[in-house]
Amino acid sequence: MNWIHKDLLGVRDLSREEILFLLDTADSFRDISRRDIKKVPTLRGKTIITLFYEPSTRTRVSFEIAAKRLSADTINISTSSSSVVKGETLSDMGRNLQSMRPDVIVIRHNMPGAPHLLSKILDCSIINAGDGAHEHPTQALLDLFTMREKKETLDGLKIAIVGDIAHSRVARSNIFALKKFNTEITCCAPPTMIPPGLEELGVSVTDRLGEAVVDKDVIMMLRIQKERGGTSYIPSIREYSSFYCLSEEHVGLARKDVIIMHPGPMNRGVEISDRVADGAFSVILDQVENGVAVRMAVLYLLSGGES
Amino acid sequence: MTILIKNGRLVDPASDRDERVDILIKGDSVEKIGKKLSGAGAERIIDAEGLVVAPGLIDVHTHLREPGFEWKETIRTGTMAAAKGGFTSVVCMANTDPVNDNKAVTEYIMERARAQGVVRVFPCGAVTKGLKGEDLSEMGEMHASGAVAISDDGKSVGNAQLFLKAMEYAHLFNLAIICHCEEETLSHGFVHEGHASLLSGLDPVPSLAEEIVARRDIALAAYVNSPVHLTHISTAGTVRIVREEKARFPKVTADTCPHYFTLTEEATLAYDTSTKVNPPLRSAADVAAIKEGLRDATIDMIATDHAPHDAISKDVEFNLASSGISGLETALALSLALVEEGVLDLKSLLRKMTANPARLLNLPFGQVVAGAPADLIIFSDKAEWTVDKDAFLSKGKNTPFHGMKVRGKNLMTIVAGRIVYTDPEFK
């Protein structure tokens, strides 16, 4: 299969086959990170810029490590050190960066569509590392990678996604991706955090955590997006946690071999209890490890590589 | 100048006329309408064979941006765009800088329009000083200086008591009251709530934000028996509300804009900022309801909400982009699609763009009859063309219709007996 996309703006644009191809490619990259010498020359001479308009640790480091293990040169820009503070527009910033001839720009932005704006005006590849409440495609891909790793196949999985669905790009990307497979998805949140028309995406909706988790193969917990006004949709974090914090009793209602996922950063005691986060069913740290392999695959394919 | 327009199909909703006749214009008014008029003495004879002759269009909702935002539009460029689009009168909204909330600004606009304007300009004054929703503007003095309406367009007057007083007071001067219906506390978003917000992750604007204020403003108007006009209505719910309320209180009128019956929220999904407009592009069901509202005369008028912006205001993230569409030069063609689709006949369509706005604003225009001011247009309802934003006379190139094939083109615009626009291909 040849990879035809210049950019990765969202998983909604990808086909089932393309997602599987990407996951297979990631598979082949995973061993590199487990070697003593964690570097291959695959992307030597390529320049990758990460442009982060929003704070991030996991995603930014994951992209940087992925790029470095493929021998690409990386430059990290975050808003505090960029000319954004001087009032430069995103378009101008993009055009300026382009003049320095990067091969890939990885962008994280608090506004939906920001990567699309860059994609329209720049020739280099654009990777969406999270745009507001829209998409976080590499997160969904690493989540699918982890699910496939633990469950062998994506088809037939029953998945609960719990938390602030309305403001979550992780939820959107996961729903878009998982609905390309034969999966059953239940979204669970207080009604104020369910976006209008959610059922249109082919998911079922419940506001009871105890119902959402029953018989599930996967439980994916999301955090409250305080930076997107998430706290004004609930009376308090404390009250939220008393109804929506995933406990061991909830886990007991799911399939015996359920996996518990979380895109991080976790708010322990809010959406997930310590015992579940650190428990036997948690694959949260596997997600992080797999994130590097998935991002290596994405960088590799967008930089013109073929499997 | 004496102009004879021969062989055209005159469609004049005000006089309920749709027939092939000649029209003789003498000086600034229509001298005579009849069959086979003699061209003797006419300085200019125009053959309108196969073309439609109609009253000049009247737009109850434009933004000319002057004073204060001359890099976006001026009275000169805005009225040039109007003339090209077939409009002979435009009402310009008050959100200039300074705000048109006193007679000095109104007089400035009138003076600039006299000196620079290509078509007639009628200022709409602010309801409240500075559009702040706190104190009534000096609407009597603005009226004396030429204002024909009041509106805080861009937002609603949130304070119901104040708006009630504004309606009562405006009655003194017979000023039209134009309502932008939007409940601020429900409207922090950028796209229609539902499909568009769900897929794009952009913050939603629910239909309710418009409908709740539409309902309120009509109730306020009915309470003081004041005429009230709802502008750029966009949702099925608002259409239903206007329809219901009109049955009880006939002083309600409403307009919508071409983009609300041409595009759906689907157009916003690519984050193209030219589709960002307030109220937002709505669902397919809303578009169908808007068309039904136009068909059954619930919606009385089509306005442009011409909102020109400079490139930089749109070359940014969707959230940050200015709202609005540069609409004067596409409105006629987009509206004529309603005729082709069978929603309206040509006369009913033109009524919504001529006679009805004239009645709302108490203007003697919007009709082609002997003795009336000679404001009229000649257009082809068949000519096909492709929208090219770079060919706009407006400074605002912000249109989601760029590249779209449309049918129907204004060829000539006459204001007060003077030819102010001729299409380059029209001989």
Q: Are strands B418-422 and B405-415 parallel, antiparallel or unpaired?
A: antiparallel
Q: Give the integer Cα–Cα distance in Å for B35 and B251.
A: 38
Beta-carbon contacts of B412 under 8 Å, excluding residues fewer than 6 positions away, are B46, B377, B378, B379, B419, B421, B422, B423, B426
For chains A and B, CB pairs below 8 A equal: 60
Distance from CA of B206 to the nearest CA of A (A): 9
- What fold characterizes domain A11-135+288-302? Rossmann fold (3.40.50)
pLDDT value at A82 more than 60: no
Which pLDDT score is estimated for A224? 86
Distance from CA of B386 to the nearest CA of A (A): 23
Q: Give the integer Cα–Cα distance in Å for B333 and B219.
A: 35
The token duo for A26 is 């990631």
Report residue B322's pLDDT band, with 50, 70 and 90 as the boundaries. very high
Query: What does the pLDDT average to over B50-54?
Result: 98
Q: Can you list the pairs that B161-166 forms with residues at least 24 positions away whose Cβ atoms lie under 8 Å?
A: B162/B128, B162/B133, B162/B134, B162/B136, B163/B127, B163/B217, B163/B220, B164/B220, B164/B223, B164/B224, B165/B136, B166/B127, B166/B128, B166/B136, B166/B139
Q: Give the integer Cα–Cα distance in Å for B177 and B181.
A: 12
* A205-256 pLDDT, tens digit each: 999 999 999 999 999 999 987 776 666 889 999 999 999 999 999 999 999 9
B285 contacts on A by Cβ (under 8 Å): none
Q: Using the structure block, give the residue that is written with the tokens 């539409």.
A: B214
Would an 8 Å CB–CB cutoff place A79 in contact with chain B? no
Would an 8 Å CB–CB cutoff place B172 in contact with chain A? no
As for the ipTM of the complex, it is 0.93
Q: Which residues of B are known to be catalytic?
A: 305
Helices (H) and strands (E) in chain B, counts: 13, 18
* Per-domain residue ranges of chain A: 11-135+288-302, 137-287
Binding-face residues of A in 165-204 toward B, CB within 8 A: 169, 172, 195-198, 200-201
Report residue B125's pLDDT band, with 50, 70 and 90 as the boundaries. very high
pLDDT value at B15 more than 50: yes
B361, B176 Cβ separation under 8 angstroms: yes
Name B57's bridge partners.
B87
Q: Give the integer Cα–Cα distance in Å for B241 and B421.
A: 39
Would an 8 Å CB–CB cutoff place B195 in contact with chain A? yes
Residue B406 CB neighbour total at 10 angstroms: 18
B140, B174 Cβ separation under 8 angstroms: no
A117 contacts on B by Cβ (under 8 Å): 271, 316-318
Instruction: Tell me which residue in B194, B195, B318 faces A111 most closely, judged by beta carbons.
Output: B318
Query: What does the pLDDT average to over A91-101?
Result: 95
In chain A, the DSSP E strands lie at 47-52, 73-78, 104-109, 125-131, 158-162, 184-188, 204-206, 218-221, 259-261
Which pLDDT score is estimated for A10? 98
Beta-carbon contacts of A83 under 8 Å, excluding residues fewer than 6 positions away, are A93
pLDDT value at A83 more than 60: no
Q: Give the integer Cα–Cα distance in Å for A188 and A206.
A: 5
pLDDT value at B331 more than 90: yes
Does the distance separating the beta carbons of B316 and A134 come in below 8 Å?
no
Residue A100 CB neighbour total at 10 angstroms: 10
Question: Of B408, B411, B403, which is closest to residue B386 (Cα–Cα)?
Answer: B403
pLDDT value at A307 more than 50: no
Distance from CA of B73 to the nearest CA of A (A): 22
Q: Give the integer Cα–Cα distance in Å for B239 and B289.
A: 7
* A128-181 pLDDT, tens digit each: 999 999 999 999 999 999 999 999 999 999 999 999 999 999 999 999 999 999
Query: What does the pLDDT average to over B107-123?
Result: 98
Binding-face residues of B in 294-323 toward A, CB within 8 A: 312, 315-320
Query: What does the pLDDT average to over B234-262?
Result: 98
CA distances from A98 to A123, A124, B105, B272 (A): 8, 7, 46, 21
A11-135+288-302 and A137-287 have identical folds: yes
Supply the DSSP string of A282-301, one letter for each residue: B-HHHHHHHHHHHHHHHHHH
Distance from CA of A196 to the nearest CA of B (A): 6
Query: Cα A106 to chain center, whole Å?
Result: 13
Cα nearest neighbour of A172 on chain B: B199
* Per-domain residue ranges of chain B: 55-361
B198 contacts on A by Cβ (under 8 Å): 195-198, 200-201
Which pLDDT score is estimated for B39? 86
B202 contacts on A by Cβ (under 8 Å): 112-113, 132-134
Least-confidence region, from A66-80, A113-127, B300-314, B320-334: A66-80
* B369-389 pLDDT, tens digit each: 999 999 999 999 999 999 999
A175, A185 Cβ separation under 8 angstroms: yes
Architecture of domain A137-287: 3-Layer(aba) Sandwich (3.40)
Does the distance separating the beta carbons of B195 and A134 come in below 8 Å?
no
Using a pLDDT cut of 70, give the percent of chain A over it: 95
Which pLDDT score is estimated for A85? 60
Superfamily of domain B55-361 in the CATH hierarchy: Metal-dependent hydrolases (3.20.20.140)
Query: What does the pLDDT average to over B175-183?
Result: 98
Name B409's bridge partners.
B380
Q: Give the integer Cα–Cα distance in Å for B270 and B318.
A: 10
